[in-house]
Amino acid sequence: MSKKAYARPQYKVKPAVIIIVAAIVFLFAAVIVLLQPTDQQRIYNAYDVGNSTIKKDHVFESISASKLAKLIEKGDPIVVFFGDPSCSVCVSEIGWYDQEFKDAGLVSELSVIYYVKFGSMTEASKQTLRDKFGMALTETPEVYYLNEGEIVSKRKDFTTGTMAGQIKAFFTLVKNDLQ
């Protein structure tokens, strides 16, 4: 009896099968990407609790501390909100910032309020913003208006009247500075 060498089976995958599998993988990836909430939805979901008045079409846009520093150094006028969803004052005030920003007509001039999640900042990034730009960054919320790389106004500078009136006065100052 002669011994035949064992031949491994040859698998032949047709190109149509490869194309179908690749298409299915692509579709699953596309569905996963499309189902991810937008930045605007993430902020809304985080702050849509309790006594919050934030709207789905708010003007907040997330930004990292490092990107914020670069934006400030660029010199463009910006408003930045440092807050956290675990801060009850942030939750109760964020809707007012959105509304007063829109009422002051700042959407056409500044378009957004940059949002930095205070709880996600490293101590090093906080220290950088303190040292370079004089931000306190000790509690939340903290809101600043900066122009030409300098703090022009802080929300904390407005202490008379109601909270809504203070926020309105802050944005009135921003509007006047831009004119």
Backbone angles phi, psi at 153, to 5 degrees: -155, 150
For helices 65-74 and 123-133, angle between their N-to-C axes, nearest 10 degrees: 20
| CATH code assigned at 46 | 3.40.30.10
Alpha-helical regions (H) of 39-87: 39-47, 65-74
Q: Is the pLDDT of residue 1 over 60?
A: no
Q: Is 166 among the domain residues?
A: yes
Give residue 99's domain range.
40-178
Evaluate whether 114 touches 106 at the Cβ level (below 8 Å): no
Q: Is 103 among the domain residues?
A: yes
Read off the pLDDT of each residue in 163-171 and give the average, rounded to a whole number: 93
Alpha carbon separation from 174 to 84, 109, 147, 149 (Å, rounded): 23, 10, 10, 15
Q: Is 8 among the domain residues?
A: no
Proportion of the chain in helix, strand, coil states, percent, rounded to 5: 50, 15, 35
**Assessment of whether the complete model's pTM goes beyond 0.85:** no
Give the number of domains in the chain.
1
pLDDT at 148: 93
Q: What percent of the chain has pLDDT over 70?
A: 98
Q: Is 18 among the domain residues?
A: no
